[in-house]
Amino acid sequence: MLKKSRSIIFLLLSLLLFFSCTEQKMQNSSNPLPSWNEGKTKQSIIDFVNEVTDPNSPGFVEPKDRIATFDNDGTLWSEQPFYFQLAFALDRVKAMSPDHPEWKNTQPFKDVLENNLKGVMESGMKGLMEIIAATHAGMTTDEFEKFVIAWIDTAKHPTKHMLYKDMVFQPMLELLEYLRENEFKTFIVSGGGIEFMRPWTESVYGIPPEQVVGSSIVTKFEMVNGKPVLMRLPKINFIDDKEGKPVGINSHIGKKPIFAFGNSDGDRQMLEWTQSNSGKTFKGLVHHTDEEREWAYGPDSKIGTFSNSLMDEAKSSGWTVVDMKNDWKVIYPEN
Amino acid sequence: MLKKSRSIIFLLLSLLLFFSCTEQKMQNSSNPLPSWNEGKTKQSIIDFVNEVTDPNSPGFVEPKDRIATFDNDGTLWSEQPFYFQLAFALDRVKAMSPDHPEWKNTQPFKDVLENNLKGVMESGMKGLMEIIAATHAGMTTDEFEKFVIAWIDTAKHPTKHMLYKDMVFQPMLELLEYLRENEFKTFIVSGGGIEFMRPWTESVYGIPPEQVVGSSIVTKFEMVNGKPVLMRLPKINFIDDKEGKPVGINSHIGKKPIFAFGNSDGDRQMLEWTQSNSGKTFKGLVHHTDEEREWAYGPDSKIGTFSNSLMDEAKSSGWTVVDMKNDWKVIYPEN
């Protein structure tokens, strides 16, 4: 009797240890990507992951080379009616305006304060750069981070009335997690500001700061009252868009991705760069086709342009195009 | 009898699973840093690691924030009589010279081909930039990587007659491993070229390309015969030295380190930046004091200058200074 119960204890202990060791692998096989409808799109992802993770497959890729890069705006979260980082900048102008009485009579700030978005847009690149310089520079990296955190935790979308950070795509969150379960290293490679994204990408996407690549302004090391700081200067350092994305990937990662996802013409070169990897690769594009649940836009949109020539290249090169309306069961996470 | 042997099998199975699960933790406690002599220096490292990894310690740091940054030249491998990357550049000039007959009569190339190192040095920054432009630019990133790999696998030091890649410090290899066992993420932050280091840091230091920060030249995305490449242009992009090190750390990692190791004035700002982290931090400097086994140099050396003011700051700030001669049992790995 004693021996029998000892056997059972050993058995249970063995099973417990066995399952704690293999828990991660178990998750992999149990219904991945639940918010994706069954069909060609979902299957193309699963087939790819199965092929590169199977040591007996000719397409097998070592875990250390399983690099996956994701655009952010329009790929991981929404980007309409304008990039959310612009909303942050406009909100910052309003918050800073008590210290800048002159803005009441200076464009483009006057238009921002009067909620004349059309006027802001018409101020063009010059106006936009003035807004960026005023709201993104002239402070330390630590100070900027605090502004971003305060904003992302409270700011809401003008028409959806959701927190911006809740307007992330549930199917893409599942895809990021699915890849990580399969020992991929997931990176963001975005035209957005690297220091605008880093304070919240870990909690929202599970992607730590060191795996975020983005556009940047110049920073300068200075001693202020005997304490070192990095001052943010009103000068562009790097634009991580279009031809810049492979440059940013090479600079920050130093390896070609085997998996890349974007949604617009700004991601074309990242997908081409990924495709030039000598091994098996996956290239995906989110196509915004869902007017009801999100937005529908393509070649004629100034934000997230998905040109006809991009669609042609996707078709001729065998890239996976996600039809948001038909491929995704839900858009945003349900709270 | 059957039950007894079953019990034993279960016991063995349990133990096997238990040890396979805890193998990593076991390594941690068993005599870390065997090539470091017992004493204050070694103990300061172990005390720090114990404090930040103990969940019950006030200095506990979450694994995700255990960022450790290491300078390369003079910290992880030797740097005398001149930086090894310069040896690579000089060897490249010689290898390329058949295609450049004009170099026989053009400085600084003439001096390189005639092994007149004094002349090369006297050509100053202008001459050096010409050598860098000729040997590090005008090719794709893939082509450059092949040159680096071919060189690092065969090139030997002029006086030690060892492969350069074998002139890495065994005690520092153990330190890198010890930190990783304790869930630190180890980075290189070097004034050397990022693309000169990346092809071999993983096999030599266990540090993957995405955890290497360094100086860089500008690269440009181009389509060549329908295939995307990154062309290396003869233009400096970023110098990852002195004030540049905190900038490079912020750009690539986005977090302040809690542990940093350097060996010269070029690392001072990296250590100050680390020190400004709000939590518990460790700052270390390798002092080259071993004329017999390696080299002895300090404030008067042009390579790896360790100025008196750096020594003063190290003392007043409580930084750990490694006395190579007395703190290290061996310098290089024994093959």
ipTM: 0.90
Render each residue's pLDDT in chain B as its tens digit; 335 residues: 455 566 665 555 555 555 554 444 444 457 899 999 999 999 999 999 999 999 999 999 999 999 999 999 999 999 999 999 999 999 999 999 999 999 999 999 999 999 999 999 899 889 999 999 999 999 999 999 999 999 999 999 999 999 999 999 999 999 999 999 999 999 999 999 999 999 999 999 999 999 999 999 999 999 999 999 999 999 999 999 999 999 999 999 999 999 999 999 999 999 999 999 999 999 999 999 999 999 999 999 999 999 999 999 999 999 999 999 999 999 999 97
**Residue B6: its pLDDT value, please?**
62
Do residue B184 and residue B268 come from a single domain?
Answer: yes
Report the predicted TM-score, pTM, of the whole model to 2 decimal places: 0.91
Contacts of B250 in chain A (CB under 8 A): 141, 219, 230
Task: State which H helix or E strand residue A287 sits in.
Answer: strand A282-287
Q: CA-nearest residue of chain B to A9?
A: B10
Residue A15 lies in a domain: no
Check the CA dihedral B98-B99-B103-B105 and report its sign. positive
Do residue A250 and residue A315 come from a single domain?
Answer: yes
Do residue A75 and residue A91 come from a single domain?
Answer: no
Residue A242 lies in a domain: yes
Do residue A239 and residue A283 come from a single domain?
Answer: yes
Write out pLDDT tens, residues A64-118. 999 999 999 999 999 999 999 999 999 999 999 999 999 999 999 999 999 999 9
Residue A236 lies in a domain: yes
In order, the DSSP letters of A16-45 are HHHHHHHHHHHHHHS---TTBPSSHHHHHH
Cβ distance of A219 and B250 shorter than 8 Å = yes
How far is the C-alpha of A209 from the C-alpha of B65, rounded, in Å? 10
Residue B319 lies in a domain: yes
Encoded tokens for A102: 């002159």
Instruction: Give which of A2, A3, A7, A145 to mutate to test B binding, by max B Cβ within 10 Å.
Output: A7
Instruction: For residue A227, list its beta bridge partners.
Output: A224
Q: Where are the beta strands (DSSP E) in B61-180?
A: 67-70
For residue A255, give the nearest of B4, B209, B244 by CB distance: B209
Do residue B72 and residue B195 come from a single domain?
Answer: yes
Contacts of A21 in chain B (CB under 8 A): 17, 20-21
**Residue A15: its pLDDT value, please?**
55
Residue B55 lies in a domain: yes
Cβ distance of A276 and B228 shorter than 8 Å = yes
Q: Tell me which amino acid residue B49 is.
A: V
Do residue B287 and residue B223 come from a single domain?
Answer: yes
Burial grade of B44 (CB within 10 A; 0-12, 13-18, 19 or more): middle
Do residue A201 and residue A54 come from a single domain?
Answer: yes
Residue A140 lies in a domain: yes
How far is the C-alpha of A300 from the C-alpha of A308, rounded, in Å? 10
Q: Which of A113, A134, A152 is the last residue of a domain?
A: A152
How far is the C-alpha of B228 from the C-alpha of A276, rounded, in Å? 7
Residue B19 lies in a domain: no
Residue A4 lies in a domain: no
Instruction: Give which of B195, B247, B258 to mutate to test A binding, by max A Cβ within 10 Å.
Output: B247
User: Domain containing B294: what range?
Assistant: 29-80+159-327
Separation in Å, CA B315 to CA B258, B300, B311, B321: 19, 19, 6, 8
Size of interface A-B (CB pairs under 8 A): 110
**What's the number of domains chain A is made of?**
2
For residue A272, give the nearest of B13, B14, B228 by CB distance: B228
Q: Which of B152, B174, B202 is the last residue of a domain?
A: B152
How far is the C-alpha of A267 from the C-alpha of A276, rounded, in Å? 15
- Any idea what the CATH number is for the domain that residue A311 is in? 3.40.50.1000
Do residue B210 and residue B67 come from a single domain?
Answer: yes
Count of CB atoms situated within 10 Å of the CB of A279: 13
